[in-house]
Chain A
Amino acid sequence: MRFSSLKKKLLPPPQWRRPVIILLGIGAGLAIYIAHIANVGSYLTDDPTACVNCHVMTPQFITWRHSSHREVATCNDCHVPQDNFIKKYFFKAKDGLYHSTIFTLRKEPQAIVMHEAGQEAVQSNCIRCHISQVTDPRTAAGVSNHAENRLDRTCWSCHRNVPHGRERSLSSVGFHLEPLPVATRKGSFVPAWLDAQVNHTSN
């Protein structure tokens, strides 16, 4: 009975159980507290505000929100593989742990750039939505080096402003006061004093 002997080895003798339970509780409590202050649950969602849990992503967040992509694509739509559920969350976990490690060690650079895995994800996601533009048969037939251009380069080697603009660094935004994308804040368009005072009698 290997299982019961393993159990015997791991479990403390009866007279030690209470102190051990208390000690484990301290460890678990600390871990839950950390998960709470780090807002860990938000990383399971597609909400762009999760990405500004760390303020170093503020420039990326603001530039996205000032771009036309804000209407159609969240951070994850571009920066995380979208081909299947497992790949998506594996990538998220891998990338997220890397980011949080660098951030905790204070090793983030002034100007953050994508690594290779991230570039691959973004490039596939550009194509995912814009497939009809990049595989247009008229261009394929009429432009001699179309296939090389399409396959050997990234979209942003030409479309350099899409969507974050060309200058990106920790200091390249103004003041940031608006943590949520305004489009999702329905009802805030009319301030409370006005809502209470307007004349509701139809004329």
Chain B
Amino acid sequence: MSENIKNWLLFILTVAVVILLSYLANSIINRKAESQFAYTPQIEIGAHEPRNVVWGKNFPRQYESFMRTRDTSFATYLNGSKLRDALGEDPRLVVLWAGYGFSKDYNQPRGHAYAIEDIHNTLRTGGPTGPGTGPMPSTCWTCKSPDVPRTMAEKGIGEFYKGKWADKGSEVVNPIGCADCHNPETMSLQISRPALVEAYENMGKDIKDATHQEMRSLVCAQCHVEYYFDKNIAGQEGVPYLTFPWKYGTTVEDMEKYYDQMEFADWTHPLSKAPMLKAQHPGYELFTTGVHSQRGVSCADCHMPYQSEGGQKFTDHHIRSPLDNVANSCQVCHREESGALINDVFQRQKKIKQTQLSLEELLIRAHIEAQKAWQLGATEAQMKSILMDIRHAQWRWDYSVASHGGTFHSPVEASRIVSTATEIAQEARVKLARLLGQLGFSGEVAYPDISTKAKAQAFIGLDMDKLNDEKETFLKDLVPVWKKEAAEREAQMPIRPVSSRE
């Protein structure tokens, strides 16, 4: 072969190699560009987007299942998704919480999608007529909406907690949803409320060290926990700053010690004059003492199990009682009949309920016997230890009932708490019997007729007609104003399609 031809061949070969390499580079770039569009959502979700429906455009399955929390057709032994009047089912609660908001109105919680509606409707938030009015502080909004982290980020945390509940009525309008638990860019779980981060710091822990599986419970623990409003936070004096009493730990005794040490009381009971503690809903704390938690199960594993739809596996955002969905929750691990599993749950709850109910009667008797002692001229010194016993006993009782699923999440711990509370309540009544004897009274202090909610509320002197009227006016006059202002504000918030990205 002549030298000339050889050189030409070499030239053509090199050209071919370079062309192929360029093609390869081109193909790689093409396919990388494709991946920007494959599996890419339609809407750009802003940093503090509070509207669940906007997130729903990108995540229709999660959103639609979340919207099913509006379903109210399922009832369990204790809760479920129905609107249930807890005071009507157990009027004793009215007397136990006399002097405190919960004696006015207390319903079993409905689904997350009702968060705003239900806090508007409850008599506990009263009937404000405009900014600066009404019984509750702004802090009461904290767990109700993804508008909360948005407002906090815009105005500051202390500024959010400051003022009356009615002051933020037009800011907080979207029910609990996406932005409460998710990072808008990556969709990974994230904490949106300061109190949990601060509580971890107070325990000497860093929440950033949490694992993904722990986060599947911790996002719930932002709200489903015991808390109080601390008005003595340095730099935030006078502001009802939402705080978890976890400094010494999360057991009922740890928190009792914490409150006793700071001499904190939620309210003074009008009958016994005891400095009371209201347990909120220590659901997470009780859950962590139970066997499911100890085996590494998270809240989401049972309350938001994976589900499959059209071949796509995703997390069911219809957050609800697992007993409404035994197949995807319990039966993933437990190979028993659905009916048997539900029965297991109810059996535990019923047995503990029995002891809780008799404890309630003991507590009411202690309150009215203390009232009798005051009437007969008992002194502060004589009453002091009795009132502390009543405080502790009712706190522990409340801790065991207020954690809605607690008697299943951790039945042994729940019944331990009830038995320590029963012992303390009996101790208070022994002391009261002695004191009443000293004061010259030897009979039984008559147990009031509190067989219905109405009778119990009349017994503690609540003017229900007035409360109902105020609420009606509020719902008719103020709520529509809030909604209108919110709609105008949200109309200014753009919804940007991803295709408009520059």
Contacts and interface: CB of A to CB of B under 8 A. Distances in A.
A199 B310 CA distance: 46
Contacts of A13: none
Given A27-B21, A199-B198, A203-B230, A194 B241 contact: no
A149 interface: no
Interface residues of A, number: 51
Nearest to A52: B35
Given A66-B313, A174-B312, A182-B189, A201 B233 contact: yes
A177 B185 contact: yes
Interface stretch (B148-156, B425-433, B439-447): B148-156
B207 interface: yes
Nearest to B208: A187
A203 B312 contact: no
B192 A194 contact: yes
A62 B312 CA distance: 10
Output the residue of A54, A63, A177, A187 with the most chain B CB within 10 A: A177
B212 A203 contact: no
Interface stretch (A89-97, A119-127, A164-172): A164-172
Contacts of A191: 149, 183, 190-192
Given A37-B32, A190-B208, A198-B194, A175 B157 contact: no
A173 B346 CA distance: 38
A58 B234 CA distance: 49
A186 B210 CA distance: 8
Interface stretch (B36-44, B84-92, B170-178, B368-376): B36-44
B233 A203 contact: yes
A182 B218 CA distance: 15
Contact of A183 (B149, B211, B312): B211
Contacts of A38: 28
Contacts of B187: 177-178
B24 interface: yes
A202 interface: yes
Interface in B14-69: 14, 17-18, 21-22, 24-25, 27-29, 31-32, 34-35, 38-41, 58-61
B247 interface: yes
A31 interface: yes
Contact of A104 (B22, B27, B156, B215): B27
Contacts of A69: none
B191 A165 contact: no
A197 B21 contact: no
Interface string A86-119: 0000000000000000011000000000000000
B313 A63 contact: yes
A34 interface: yes
Contacts of B213: 71, 183
Interface core residue of A63, A103, A165, A194 (most chain B CB under 10 Å): A194
A195 B212 CA distance: 19
B77 interface: no
A27 B20 CA distance: 11
Contact of B157 (A165, A188, A198): A198
A18 interface: no
A100 B179 CA distance: 39
Q: Is the interface of A mostly helix, strand, loop or mixed?
A: loop
Given A191-B190, A193-B153, A37 B28 contact: yes
Contact of B314 (A174, A177, A178): A174
A194 B191 contact: yes
A66 B314 contact: yes
Contacts of A66: 306, 313-315
B492 to A, nearest CB: 20
A188 B188 CA distance: 8
B236 A199 contact: yes
A30 B207 CA distance: 47
Contacts of B241: 199
A85 to B, nearest CB: 28
A37 B25 contact: yes
B377 interface: no
A189 B221 CA distance: 14
Interface in B286-332: 306, 308, 310-315
Interface of A: 23, 26-27, 30-31, 33-34, 37-38, 54-55, 58, 62-63, 66, 71, 103-104, 165-169, 172-178, 180-183, 185-191, 193-195, 197-203
Q: Ordered nearest first, which 10 A-B pairs have the shortest CB separation?
A: A167-B311, A176-B39, A55-B35, A183-B212, A182-B188, A193-B153, A172-B311, A175-B41, A198-B194, A201-B234
Given A177-B58, A189-B190, 5 more contacts: A37-B29, A167-B311, A175-B58, A187-B208, A190-B191
Interface of B: 14, 17-18, 21-22, 24-25, 27-29, 31-32, 34-35, 38-41, 58-61, 149, 152-153, 156-157, 183, 185-194, 197-198, 201-202, 207-213, 215, 218, 230, 233-236, 241, 243, 247, 306, 308, 310-315
15 contacts: A62-B313, A167-B308, A177-B185, A183-B211, A186-B208, A189-B188, A189-B208, A189-B210, A190-B191, A190-B208, A191-B191, A199-B194, A199-B233, A201-B233, A202-B247
